[in-house]
Amino acid sequence: MGEQPIFSTRAHVFQIDPNTKKNWVPTSKHAVTVSYFYDSTRNVYRIISLDGSKAIINSTITPNMTFTKTSQKFGQWADSRANTVYGLGFSSEHHLSKFAEKFQEFKEAARLAKEKSQEKMELTSTPSQESAGGDLQSPLTPESINGTDDERTPDVTQNSEPRPEPTQNALPLSHRQSYREAEAEREREVFHPLVHSPIGRNSRSYADPKRGASSGSPSSAISKHWEAELATLKGNNAKLTAALLESTANVKQWKQQLAAYQEEAERLHKRVTELECVSSQANAVHTHKTELNQTIQELEETLKVKEEEIERLKQEIDNARELQEQRDSLTQKLQEVEIRNKDLEGQLSDLEQRLERSQNEQEAFRNNLKTLLEILDGKIFELSELRDSLAKLLECS
C-alpha cells in the first residue's frame, strides 16, 4: 500500500538557523501543504511538506518528540534525526490546535507501534539466542569437546550426546564442508573407538579391566590409543577454531556490508517515499490548480464587470463634469445677469427718481400755469370791462 496522507493543512514553513540556533529561516515563500503520512508496511508516521518538487519537511514522528505552541498561530518541534527544528506559521489558532492534536495522536500511535515491534523482536530473538548461545559464547577447547581428564573414559554413552554446532549460515561454503568432514570424522572416532583401535578386536580385554591389568600390555595400548585420540581431537579443535575465527571475521565484514546496504535501502526508501508523496499530492495539486483556475476565471469575470462598472462610472463622472461645467457657466451667467439686473435696478431707481422729479416739476409748472391763467383771466376780464367802459364812453360821447 505504501504511505498514504491521513491529514493535511496549509502553513508557512520555517527551520532554525543552523549557525545561530536562534533565528528562523523561511523555507517557503508562501503557505504550502503540510501532511501527515502513515506507512502501513513499516508502521511509521511522518510529516511531509513539498514546495514544488522539493521536500522541505521530511520528519519521522517518534515517541520522544514534542510539539510546542510558541504563540497563537505558531508551533515548533525538534527532529534529532534531521538535526534541526521545524516551525509552522498558521493562518488561525484553530488550524494550529488541530495540527497539535493530530501530532499528539500520531505520537501516541507511534509509541504503541514501537512497543509492539519491540515485543515481537523479543519474542523472535529469544529462541535464536537460546539456540546460538552455546555455539558462539563458549570457545572451542579440547576440554569442551572431549571433556576433562576425568571424563575421558571409554564410556560410549557419555561421548554419544550431540554437541551444539556453530551456526552454519555464518560460515562460508568451504568452511562448512571442512567443518562437517571434521565433525563426522570426530564422531566416528568418538562413537566407535574400538573399531579403529588395534585392540578393538579384543573386546574381552576392554570389557574386563581386571583381566587387562593382569596382562599389563593392553593397558599401555589403551593409554596410547587415547593419547592418539586426544591429539587428533586437538588438531580438529584447532581447525574448527581457525574456521570459527575466519567465519567471525567474515560475519563482521558481512555486518558492515549489511549496514551499508541498509543505509542505501533507507535512502532509496526515503526517495521512493518522496516520489510517492509527489505522486499522491499530484492529484491534490491538480485539484487545487483546477480550483485556482476556476477562481481566476471568476475573478477575471468579476474584474470585467468591475471594469465595465468603472467605465460607466467614468462616463457618469464625465457627464457630471460637463454638467458641473454647464452649471458653472450658468452660475457665472446668472451672476452676470444679477450684476446687470442690479445695474438696471439702479438705473431704474434713477429714472424713477428723475421721473418723480419731472412729475413734480410738471405739477409745479401746471400749478404756476394755472396761476398765470387765473391771473391772465383776471387781466382779460379787467380788459374786457375796460373795453366795455371805453365803448360806453365812446357811445356816450
What is the dihedral angle through the alpha carbons of 48, 52, 53, 59, rounded to the nearest 10 degrees?
Answer: -20
- Residue 200 is predicted with a pLDDT of 38
Tell me the three-class secondary structure of 170-228, residue by residue: HCCHHHHHHHHHHHHHHHHHHHCHHHHCCCCCCHHHHHCHHHHHHHCHHHHHHHHHHHH
**What is the Cα–Cα distance from 365 to 369, expressed in whole angstroms?**
6
- Residue 19 is predicted with a pLDDT of 86
Tell me the three cell numbers of residue 46.
Answer: 511522518
Alpha helices in the chain (DSSP H): 93-136, 142-146, 156-159, 173-191, 193-196, 203-207, 209-215, 217-396
- Residue 249 is predicted with a pLDDT of 80
216 class by beta-carbon count within 10 Å (0-12 exposed, 13-18 middle, 19+ buried)? exposed
In the block, cell 483556475 appears at 293
**What is the Cα–Cα distance from 281 to 289, expressed in whole angstroms?**
12
- Residue 96 is predicted with a pLDDT of 93
Task: Find out whether 116 and 151 touch, Cβ atoms under 8 Å.
Answer: no
Task: Find out whether 148 and 118 touch, Cβ atoms under 8 Å.
Answer: no
Q: 179: closest CA among 189, 166, 161?
A: 166
- Residue 1 is predicted with a pLDDT of 53
- Residue 146 is predicted with a pLDDT of 40
- Residue 292 is predicted with a pLDDT of 82
Q: Up-side HSE of residue 224: CA atoms within 13 Å toward CB?
A: 8
**What is the Cα–Cα distance from 291 to 331, expressed in whole angstroms?**
57
Q: 46: closest CA among 284, 287, 265, 276?
A: 276
The residue ranges of the chain whose pLDDT is under 70 are: 1-2, 124-218, 279-285
Residue 23 gets the label, from left (phi > 0), alpha (psi -120 to 50) or beta, of beta
Number of Cβ within 10 Å of residue 14's Cβ equals: 20
- The residue type found at 209 is P
